[in-house]
């Protein structure tokens, strides 16, 4: 029976310590959450600025519900484009300094819709090995020839580009990478990437999911911080992490955005995101663009630096993500469980999110953590493992 087939498959996952289960959170996102009747200090969330339960976002969502109701009713191209959608897209373009922007229901949908609209069968995609699943899935869906380069390895990237230009001189070549890598927290060498993209006449899609709100003046991301944003053809990001709401976006030229409106299937064939969530995202962009938002971002960096200065985490701060590499899947689960017993919620990340044998705890710091919470976590990890944080930079 089918039922038994899935039970067997699940058993096989369990035997490899790769089974996943949902856990119920009884509270809003914040520095502490309640799980199973216990309050735990939360080092698991991408809510880097503490906006997911912010009154500004909540009020904006409530006002949008009062004015526009709940459902958008149809896709954006039918009757789903309400005022907040257009306001958000204008605000995103202003914030990122691009001609135009388009928002999607999620970052995942942004990748899945955008990449196949940019390249197709016969074109070439060159992608960093540690790119997020949404980028890999979008790349596969496009039907383009896929070449993967080892993480941040510019000479391998260049040899793929040389190969593409030699073997497929007439095709479009798209480089895809992230500015801050989601599971390692390190950064891409953007200036060098831009140099290569120009030399080989390629397009560059940069996913700033974990950089926006965290890096650069007003949280505009790493490309803006390094003053190369004007050179990035397709600037992707998500509204679901530091911005505390939900949704994905692409910023770029007006022609690019109009092309995506015409060709991105996850945009065209899906009901528009609800006005309430869009209005909340707009409130987050407005907040980030304000002096108060910048103050919050700088507060996040104080917390990141505190984490870096503590014994065992003596590497340069690159982002709010601190991987504690364990290796073995079962050992990672056991360490996460030991930390939970001590009052900390830090998830174990395993295959297929990371490579087999590269299981880790993924610690994320938020502007809303107290110094004491961060110190207590580091001391507890040290006591439990006797180890140093292994932070790949």
Ligand X SMILES: Cc1ncc(COP(=O)(O)O)c(C=O)c1O
Q: Catalytic site residues? A: 182, 210, 241
Chain centroid to CA 340: 25
Residues 307/322, Cβ–Cβ less than 8 Å: yes
Radius of gyration of the chain (CA): 21
Report the alpha-carbon distance of residue 301 to residue 186 in Å, rounded: 15
Q: Which CB sits closer to ligand X, 41 or 250? A: 250
User: Any contact of residue 134 with ligand X (CB under 6 A)?
Assistant: yes
Of the residues 186, 207, 229, 329, which one makes contact with ligand X according to CB under 6 A: 207
Of the residues 106, 313, 318, 373, which one makes contact with ligand X according to CB under 6 A: 106
User: Any contact of residue 107 with ligand X (CB under 6 A)?
Assistant: yes
Q: Which CB sits closer to ligand X, 240 or 318? A: 240
Residue by residue, DSSP assigns 14-82 as HHTT-------B-S-SSSEEEETTEEEEE---S-TTS-TT-HHHHHHHHHHHHHH-S---SBIIIII--
Point out which span in 104-112, 196-204, 288-296, 345-353 binds ligand X (CB under 6 A): 104-112
Report the alpha-carbon distance of residue 139 to residue 127 in Å, rounded: 9
Partners of 206 in the β-ladder: 177, 235
Residue in 349, 373, 374, 344 with CA at minimum distance from that of residue 361? 349
Of the residues 209, 224, 365, 367, which one makes contact with ligand X according to CB under 6 A: 209
Point out which span in 7-15, 65-73, 103-111, 195-203 binds ligand X (CB under 6 A): 103-111
Of the residues 44, 82, 238, 373, which one makes contact with ligand X according to CB under 6 A: 238
Sheet holding 359-364, edge to edge: 321-327, 359-364, 348-349
Report the alpha-carbon distance of residue 298 to residue 319 in Å, rounded: 12
Q: Which CB sits closer to ligand X, 320 or 381? A: 320
Q: Which CB sits closer to ligand X, 354 or 381? A: 354
User: Any contact of residue 142 with ligand X (CB under 6 A)?
Assistant: no
Of the residues 43, 48, 95, 108, which one makes contact with ligand X according to CB under 6 A: 108
Smallest gap from residue 209 Cβ to ligand X (A): 4
| Contact map string, positions 21 to 40, toward ligand X, x by CB under 6 A | --------------------
Point out which span in 66-74, 105-113, 191-199, 378-386 binds ligand X (CB under 6 A): 105-113
If one counts every other C-beta atom within 10 angstroms of the C-beta of residue 257, the result is 20
Of the residues 47, 123, 178, 184, which one makes contact with ligand X according to CB under 6 A: 178
Q: Which CB sits closer to ligand X, 107 or 347? A: 107
Size of the site for ligand X (CB under 6 A): 12
Q: What region, left, alpha or beta, does residue 69 occupy, with left being phi > 0 and alpha being psi -120 to 50 degrees?
A: left
What part of residues 143-172 is at the interface with ligand X (CB under 6 A)? none
- The tokens describing 365, both together, are 């710091």
Residues 233/202, Cβ–Cβ less than 8 Å: no
Q: Judging by DSSP bridges, how do beta strands 100-104 and 32-35 pair with one another?
A: unpaired
Sheet holding 38-42, edge to edge: 32-35, 38-42, 344-345
Q: Which CB sits closer to ligand X, 82 or 246? A: 246
Residues 353/183, Cβ–Cβ less than 8 Å: yes
User: Any contact of residue 95 with ligand X (CB under 6 A)?
Assistant: no
Q: Judging by DSSP bridges, how do beta strands 124-128 and 344-345 pair with one another?
A: unpaired
Q: What are phi and psi of 211, to 5 degrees?
A: -110, -35
Smallest gap from residue 388 Cβ to ligand X (A): 25
Q: Which CB sits closer to ligand X, 107 or 216? A: 107
What part of residues 242-271 is at the interface with ligand X (CB under 6 A)? 248
Of the residues 96, 132, 220, 303, which one makes contact with ligand X according to CB under 6 A: 132
Point out which span in 86-94, 101-109, 319-327, 379-387 binds ligand X (CB under 6 A): 101-109
Chain residues that interact with ligand X, rule: CB under 6 A: 106-108, 132, 134, 178, 182, 207, 209, 238, 240, 248
């Amino acid at each position: 029976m089918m039922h038994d087939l899935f039970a067997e498959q699940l058993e096989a996952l369990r035997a490899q310590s790769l089974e996943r289960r949902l856990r119920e959170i009884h509270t809003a996102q914040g520095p502490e959450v309640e799980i199973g009747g216990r309050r735990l200090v939360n080092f698991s969330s991408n809510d880097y600025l503490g906006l997911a339960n912010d009154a500004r976002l909540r009020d904006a969502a409530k006002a949008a519900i009062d004015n526009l109701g709940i459902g958008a009713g149809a896709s954006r191209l039918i009757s789903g484009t309400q005022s907040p959608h257009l306001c958000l897209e204008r605000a995103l373009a202003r914030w990122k300094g691009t001609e135009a922007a388009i928002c999607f229901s999620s970052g995942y949908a942004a990748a899945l819709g955008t990449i196949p609209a940019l390249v197709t069968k016969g074109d070439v995609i060159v992608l960093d090995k540690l790119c997020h699943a949404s980028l890999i899935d979008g790349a596969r869906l496009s039907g383009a020839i896929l070449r993967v380069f080892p993480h941040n390895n510019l000479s391998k990237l260049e040899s793929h580009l040389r190969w593409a230009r030699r073997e497929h001189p007439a095709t479009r070549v798209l480089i895809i990478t992230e500015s801050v890598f989601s599971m390692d927290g390190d950064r891409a060498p953007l200036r060098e990437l831009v140099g290569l993209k120009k030399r080989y006449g390629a397009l560059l899609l940069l996913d700033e999911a974990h950089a926006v709100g965290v890096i650069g003046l007003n949280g505009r991301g790493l490309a803006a911080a390094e003053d190369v944003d004007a050179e990035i053809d397709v600037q992707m990001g998500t509204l679901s992490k530091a911005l505390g709401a939900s949704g994905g976006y692409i910023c770029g030229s007006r022609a690019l955005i109009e092309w995506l409106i015409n060709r991105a299937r996850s945009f065209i064939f899906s009901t528009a995101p609800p006005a309430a969530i869009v209005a909340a995202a707009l409130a987050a962009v407005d907040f980030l663009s304000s002096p108060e938002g910048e103050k919050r971002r700088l507060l996040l960096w104080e917390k990141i630096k505190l984490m870096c200065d503590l014994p065992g985490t003596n590497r340069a701060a690159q982002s709010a993500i601190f991987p504690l590499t364990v290796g073995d899947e079962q050992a990672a689960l056991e360490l996460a469980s030991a930390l939970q017993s001590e009052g900390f919620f830090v998830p174990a990340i395993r295959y297929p999110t990371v490579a087999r044998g590269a299981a880790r705890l993924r610690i994320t710091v938020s502007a809303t953590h107290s110094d004491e919470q961060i110190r207590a976590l580091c001391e507890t990890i040290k006591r439990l493992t006797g180890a140093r944080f292994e932070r790949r930079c």
